[in-house]
Amino acid sequence: MDFHKVTSSQEAIDIEHKYGAHNYHPLPVVLKKGEGVHVWDVEGKKYYDFLSAYSAVNQGHCHPRILNAMYEQAKEISLTSRAFHNDKLGIFEKYASEYFDLDKLLPMNTGAEAVETAIKICRKWAYEKKGIEEKDAQIIVCDDNFHGRTTTIISFSNDEDARKNFGPYTPGFIKIPYNDADALEKAIKENKNIAGFLVEPIQGEAGVNTPDDDFMQKVRSICTKNNVLLMADEIQTGIARTGALLASCGHCTCQGHCERQSTYAKPDMLILGKAISGGAYPVSAVMADDEVMSVIKPGQHGSTFGGNPVAAMVAMEALQVVKDEKLAQNARRLGHKFREAMQEFIATTEIVDHVRGRGLLNAILINDSEDSSTAWDICMALKENGLLAKPTHGNIIRFAPPLVMDEEQLDECISIITSTIREFEEKLASR
């Protein structure tokens, strides 16, 4: 079947506006092709991608090994459902178990589904292992969290856009400030029904909100002491993005296996999505040791597409690429360089306040009110100059390129970013 082809970016935007729900507010750029750190629009203009599909494309666009794994498996069989076994799922589960050092994996498709899965397992564990009275389990979450868009997950969001008019909300969640281990300890002490603590090791959507270096370790020890499950949502921070295999590993690039285990705040449940497939296919997972995972029995959870053989092969290849191409090490090295360059620049400008992040998950804070359009306008100017980034929470711009970037490319990007902001500042001043 020969479908209609759009011939201009404007046509694509118009048709989407007319026939699609308006549940996003994208930058007005229409992408048609991607390769490595680059994407191209309908008119053929080339850009550096500094969003990487919210860190799903850590391995770079259209990685040939990942595409090949997908194609080879799709030719054999793509979907069996879990009514039958397939010959790839178990191999993927074993591979992931060794890779992340947790006994078992439960496969789903999207990040939000994996978070929902973790919540269900946590509650069941609370009733069957911890001895909390049924329906009383509480899960502690953080202010400004982002864990997805389902009805239960938005119930414990404090983003009014995400919540308003979607109630009634799911009960059973207690909010504490982020990066506040004392608040966690206090909340646990005050309530005997705490089953788990759900946390992002860095809050990506909140604006790359980066906690103290020892936050996750403190949290780990408080959860252990109180028999509370630590659930790390590493959907955005995981898979080498922050210069370590997992952000829970702190500053280590050991991929979870080195003698500096003391810096690794190993979660009881590890929640993965996004880059676990290199952005090629929707794959997500919850990982846990037997003690926790064994509470789930047949018929209690699942998904038609979860654990399909294409997902299994794509995810394995995507994880192996991270190791083979040493992407954690690269993210750490380039991240240092990026933040250093931004610090230098910030010292010479009024318009940027601050840079923060780890590895190649970074953000700059624009010196303007949260409802100003300055960050959006800077992103539009960056787009004109060949670099795509998107504001998050008003006056914050996140910079998260694919991890396959090299040093020369990063230098060029730093120069695009600083000169664009400089131009922007001069334009403002001359008004």
Ligand X SMILES: *Cc1c(COP(=O)(O)O)cnc(C)c1O
Binding mask 50-69 for ligand X (x = CB under 6 A): ----x---------------
In angstroms, give the least distance from the CB of 235 to ligand X.
4
Candidate residues 34, 60, 111, 256; the one interacting with ligand X per rule CB under 6 A? 111
Which CB sits closer to ligand X, 147 or 339?
Answer: 147
Binding mask 223-252 for ligand X (x = CB under 6 A): ----------x-xx----------------
36 binds ligand X (CB under 6 A): no
Which CB sits closer to ligand X, 49 or 233?
Answer: 233
Rounded to an integer, what distance in angstroms lies between the CA atom of residue 17 and that of residue 19?
Answer: 6
In angstroms, give the least distance from the CB of 366 to ligand X.
21
283 binds ligand X (CB under 6 A): no
Catalytic residue selected from 218, 274, 383, 390: 274
Is 314:70 a contact under the CB 8 Å cutoff? yes
The string of DSSP codes covering 351-397 is SEEEEEEETTEEEEEESS-TTSSHHHHHHHHHHHTTEE-EEETTTEE
Burial classification of residue 309, based on how many CB atoms lie within 10 Å of its CB (0-12 exposed, 13-18 middle, 19 or more buried): buried
Active site residue 266: no
**Encoding tokens for residue 280?**
């090629």
**Encoding tokens for residue 42?**
């309908």
Binding mask 135-174 for ligand X (x = CB under 6 A): -----------xxx--------------------------
Q: Residue 205: which of 163, 236, 230 has the closest Cα?
A: 236
Q: Residue 425: which of 346, 341, 339, 357 has the closest Cα?
A: 346
In angstroms, give the least distance from the CB of 268 to ligand X.
17
Beta strands in 97-247 (DSSP E): 104-108, 138-142, 173-176, 194-199, 229-233
> Which of positions 204-223 make contact with ligand X (CB under 6 A)?
204-205
Point out which span in 38-46, 200-208, 254-262, 296-304 binds ligand X (CB under 6 A): 200-208
Rounded to an integer, what distance in angstroms lies between the CA atom of residue 137 and that of residue 41?
Answer: 49
Candidate residues 273, 306, 357, 359; the one interacting with ligand X per rule CB under 6 A? 273
Q: Which residue is nearest to ligand X (CB)?
A: 111
Active site residue 345: no
Catalytic residue selected from 41, 49, 180, 233: 233
Rounded to an integer, what distance in angstroms lies between the CA atom of residue 10 and that of residue 346?
Answer: 36
281 binds ligand X (CB under 6 A): no
Angle at 147 between CA 19 and CA 133, to 5 degrees: 125
Which CB sits closer to ligand X, 146 or 156?
Answer: 146
Which CB sits closer to ligand X, 173 or 424?
Answer: 173
Query: CA–CA distance from 238 to each of 11, 57, 200, 335 (Å)?
Result: 36, 12, 10, 15
Burial 50-80 (b: 16+ CB within 10 A, else e): bbbbbbbbbbbbbbeebeebbeebeeeeeee
In angstroms, give the least distance from the CB of 381 to ligand X.
26
- Provide the annotated active-site residues: 146, 233, 274
- Residues that bind ligand X in the complex, under the rule CB under 6 A: 54, 110-112, 115, 146-148, 200, 204-205, 233, 235-236, 273
